Structure 1
């Protein structure tokens, strides 16, 4: 009878595409979600089947009430969709009073945006895993342990001369970290709390396709999960910013732009947010109704502060006007220290003379030897004044040029090469194809990034914050292909700055693409630049290899070891483990291994700094030396 009922449920669920995977299997997680949310469409299709209606709906005075707890139990049972190792691993989860939260009505994890931490771990492109939520109240100790500073390993320094091992970290190093970015951020806090001038990030856009996916990460979150993922990271990142000076720049597209704006308003209430439109794909990405040519940059800056510096104009953008004043209050007598000669030789300004005495009345141009002296006298021979006083004109010499007047004399013009940034950025240099993909391919052999950012778009964004701070620290914790690191290097090359970058990336391509690009573009071409690469130390890989190589006899011992590790099974009690042991024993040896690997892989088991002297982790002296130098432990 039960089997027939389950067959009916499967048949009904498979009638709706959203409950079926690409390989034709029922998406139990999606069904669960809709059960808990009392999804109207789900209830309608369940009511369409008389047998299901009779078993899972209660008639109360003519009103049918859905027994969602009973239905949730049914689809969670091992009899429903059996022969899957996930029937076992689904037993591992949050509990309340001896029962799983998924089976109770009196405990609710509210909208995860409010009270959860999403670890968001992934190493490879194809790991589109189901994300793990840690409730801040129910799992506070687990969250605290997860976010404690970690041990670093595999540290190497890249210099123009070559590679250095067995190193200590110092203030002159740029930094690249491989590891989960949330966990890396909390480790960075120990050294960089309140020291970062600019954070630039290009997070996952939460798109449904890869066309506009500029970040090769799990890009299939729903809105609430994506917001939780971002909230956790932004809360930590905010602590790294210099108070009243630091700014954050976030690249985003139309999928999450509005949601992100609301999140920023809540998290950064003492900041102001400005949304900039940037035309990054002039050819457009075809949509159903529109062809998308733009995306957005959020600038999050301290309220009431002049944080965004002036933009340096391109030569063709500069508009020139007379340096000589005109109109009211433009006469020589209105500002005596603004009447002095400008010295010109061979059409170039070579200096400035002293302020002219009141009883001297020179001609417009006076030539002595090879030098012509230019005075602020207009075409009607009225003595006026320069717009800058003698004591300040040297500072703007680079903005001046010589030009020919209609009366045959020469005069001086000024053209400011700076101006405020506008809210719409349109320039061919922002094209992500020409100056993103093609630019990257010239440096490294890359096939992973279909749409990396234009190097100039990133450079201009970062420059707007750090232009006047030659020692600024710039952080990007969604490092991707390393565009932001190269952008910092370009900015330094323009003004001789010593700005440092910190890049965090958890995907494996950090070693084949990101590191390679950064070394080639920032280290090899620079005498000063030194870059340190390191990784958050993991302790799970050995255990995974042990599981994969285990015979049937040793699997049970490995399982017991996993059960005793609080980092892997943070919520389950001994009593509950005993209840699910029977399920585990029914699995095939291969499915037993899959189940155990899945548990270990949910937590990469990063080693906490507090365990650095624990002999069980066998941490090398080189790793201890680097880690302690990073945390500035003497």
Structure 2
């Protein structure tokens, strides 16, 4: 008997009330259902809307009028085998479409991006699926399987909650607004679990996600088809945007290497990621792309190999950004004294003045001349927040805070170059150090520095390609202020969190892999103790601080671990027996047929793969809504129970 989704159980229950009108001998009369819905059959629509789950899933209130989204409801019946394959419209057919219909239904042809409107269910670890590009990977469609998505994104129960400070780690039954937070669990699910508490409160996000090169040595799943990887990133970036404050920034580190994945060999993911972020954050909120020199020289095996990583920067709302001190447009020379060198390649003093309005400048009328060009402005050119408000062409491209703008004007650091671009010279302080602003990321430590920092802490190499603290120091300084929340949901070795703590920021870290317990958390404990590696001496770090550690409470995730640990068929079958009793199995599964086929699978790996596949990835963790159920409450301590009530601000728990 197939295990059906909740929404379809409700729909079937409603349709069965009409005797044989819509279901006969267990077979759904799709055409009849659609016909009656198209005709707004009062009895059918009333019966459907009386069901609370169907009502909440397929209605929307507009101007105080409740609308039944009939077309979306009908859509589920127009795809083959919905009862067994409800998770995506693309499960049975991927290709060229027009108006939502495939080319065999239309004469107009456009390219449709597979999986664009879906949620990728599985986690990041390679144990979750054999191949994340496999057709058996689960993509929940935002229309057809809305209820499953709602279930997936429900806040989850936290357990094993501990607080770490100078005195060590101990049980913690609450979370204050000043606490730092580290979560072990699937990052997509964890992000939705913290949404209620942190939406609109995160000032800066930095992530270093799997690059989809197929060759990364860390343990993340790093072998996706392109559309799958983009879906994986899209799901996480969308919730990340909701967590950002109105003046928040997101920095996404992406490799420029070309993929070794069989399905997309030879391509790099950066341009695809940039387009995806344009779509999610809006093109107008693109701040820039920073280049970071990650190693001194490329491999001698490469024909043309880059030594740079790219860091794509977007704002939640660019209009609210008043500070981003890392600039890619600052002049790459030491400051030139225009008074003593009037015929230099740089323009003489440009007459750029602060207008006294927030982020407004004015180029005073007059002639500006250098050896390379001459330009005359008959009237003042007003620049508002980097945009010229005039028919006189001046390209203004700067990002800094208001006090710096005032100072640049007072010190005559602003000028117009031969491309009619508003630029600035470096300050005396910058010049004295022999640095320019664009040098900062090119000299912000390298991968080897990050490796050496961890070796100094742990006595051996414990993590591949960690980022150096100096890089995160520059980014965190540019994107946040003391006391702000910095989030990294691909936590890795906890570089972001270590630097944030040393720089007086609050932080949230999320990591699914088990090394969070052997590397990430121990590293932060060493930071609290006052370790002097990385940026510690530069910022005068002497130790202190604290953080709260919590785990998403595993449900099916625990069975995944047990299946991976099993070494023979007998052990696998023991896990399977427990799965049949307590696990949530994929609703598409015909259990009777599955058990007929299971003995035919000879090898341990074949059985393991199929047993992993039948687990419902929608039920990896326990929902907070069920915390008071006896079978859940008995599994957690009183301290963890109180922590959950505190975290979700549940007054009933007081």
TM-score normalised per structure 1 = 0.61
Q: Verify the 8 A CA contact 1:247 1:307 in the aligned structure 2.
A: no
1:48-67 map, 5 Å: none
Matching of residue 289 in structure 1 with residue 303 in structure 2: yes
Q: Is structure 2 residue 501 aligned with structure 1 residue 486? A: no
Measured at CA, do residues 613 and 523 of structure 1 come closer, stay the same or move farther in structure 2, by a change above 3 Å? farther
SS state at 1:242 partner: strand
The structural deviation recorded for 1:112 is 3.8
Q: 2:203 touches 2:485 (CA, 8 Å); kept in 1?
A: yes
Residue 189 of structure 1 contacts residue 240 of structure 1 at CA under 8 Å; is this kept in 2? Answer: yes
Three-state SS of the structure 1 residue aligned to 2:182 is: strand
Question: After the TM superposition, which residues 350-429 of structure 1 pair with which residues of structure 2 at under 5 Å, given as runs?
Answer: 415-416=428-429, 422=437, 425=440, 427-429=442-444
Structure 1: distance between partners of 2:441 and 2:251: 18
> Which of 570, 573, 583 lines up with 2:587 in the alignment?
570
Kindly tell me the number of residue pairs found equivalent between the two proteins. 441
Contact 1:176–1:502 (8 Å) recurs in 2: yes
Q: In the alignment, which residue of structure 2 is the partner of 1:220?
A: 223
Q: After superposition, where does 1:255-334 map in structure 2 within 5 Å? A: 255-269=268-282, 271-286=285-300, 288-301=302-315, 302-310=317-325
- Aligned residue for 1:117, secondary structure, equals strand
2:93 aligned partner: 108
Which fold has the larger relative contact order, with Cα–Cα distance below 8 Å and residues 6 or more apart in sequence? 1
For 1:251, the equivalent position in structure 2 comes to 253
Helix, strand or coil for the counterpart of 1:520? helix
In structure 1, the partner of 2:507 is 501
Q: Distance in 2 between matches of 1:290 and 1:552?
A: 47
The question of whether the paired residues in 2 share the 8 Å contact of 1:95 and 1:101 is answered with no
How much does 1:319 deviate? 5.6
TM-aligned CA distance change 1:438 to 1:454, over 3 Å: same
Q: Please report the RMSD computed on the Cα atoms of aligned residues, expressed in angstroms.
A: 4.3
Give the 3 Å change call, closer, same or farther, for CA 246–98 of structure 1 in structure 2: closer
Q: Secondary structure at the match of 1:248?
A: strand
Q: State the 1:304 CA deviation.
A: 3.7
* Alignment correspondent of 1:169: 175
Q: What is the CA–CA distance in structure 2 between the aligned matches of 1:455 and 1:546, rounded to whole Å?
A: 36
* Displacement after TM superposition at 1:603 (Å): 5.6
Q: Which moved more, 1:104-113 or 1:198-207?
A: 104-113
Using the TM superposition, give the Cα deviation of residue 604 of structure 1 relative to its aligned residue in structure 2, in angstroms.
Answer: 6.2
Q: Secondary structure at the match of 1:310?
A: coil
Alpha-carbon distance in 2 for matches of 1:623, 1:106: 40
Q: Per the alignment, in what secondary structure is the counterpart of residue 586 of structure 2?
A: coil
Per-residue Cα deviation, 1:113-137 (whole angstroms, up to 9, x for no partner): 4111113424578975434322223
Taking the aligned partners of 2:226 and 2:242, their CA distance within structure 1 comes to 25
Equivalent pair of 1:474/1:500 in contact (CA under 8 Å)? yes
In structure 1, the partner of 2:489 is 477
Cα gap change, 1:113 to 1:427, in 2 (>3 Å): same
Secondary structure, aligned partner of 2:498: helix
- Which residue in 2 is equivalent to 1:60? none
Q: Distance in 2 between matches of 1:541 and 1:561?
A: 15
Aligned equivalents of 1:272, 1:423: Cα separation in 2:
18
Gap regions ≥5 residues in structure 2: 1-78, 96-112, 257-267, 343-347, 352-402, 412-426, 532-541
Give the SS at the match of 1:533. strand
Larger radius of gyration: 1
Preserved CA contact (<8 Å) 1:281 1:293:
yes
Which residue of 1 is the match for residue 552 of structure 2? Answer: 536
Alignment of 1:609 onto 2:624: yes
Task: Tell me the CA shift for residue 436 of structure 1.
Answer: 0.9
Q: TM-score, normalised by structure 2?
A: 0.59
Using the TM superposition, give the Cα deviation of residue 489 of structure 1 relative to its aligned residue in structure 2, in angstroms.
2.5
Change (3 A) 1:153 1:415: same
Task: Indicate if the aligned counterparts of 1:277 and 1:297 stay in contact, CA closer than 8 A.
Answer: yes
Q: Is residue 2:213 matched to residue 1:242?
A: no
Structure 1 gaps, min length 5: 1-93, 331-391, 401-413, 493-498
Q: 2 CA distance for matches of 1:431 and 1:542?
A: 37
3-state SS of 1:487 partner? helix
Q: Does 1:230 align with 2:233?
A: yes
Residue in structure 1 matching 2:478, options 449, 464, 467: 464
**Structure 1 Cα separation of the partners of residues 189 and 149 of structure 2:** 10
Query: Aligned partners of 1:133, 1:187: CA distance in 2, in Å?
Result: 20
SS in 1 for 2:615: helix
Whole-Å Cα distance in 2 between the matches of residues 199 and 624 of structure 1?
A: 29
Work out whether residues 292 and 444 of structure 2, in 8 Å CA contact, stay in contact via their aligned partners in 1: no
What is the aligned partner in structure 1 of residue 361 from structure 2?
A: none
Is structure 2 residue 624 aligned with structure 1 residue 627?
no
2-side partners of 1:298 and 1:113: how far apart?
24
Specify which of 430, 433, 445 is matched with residue 445 of structure 2: 430
Indicate if the aligned counterparts of 2:556 and 2:617 stay in contact, CA closer than 8 A. no
Cα drift, residue 183 of structure 1: 0.3
Query: Which among 175, 179, 197 is matched to residue 191 of structure 1?
Result: 197
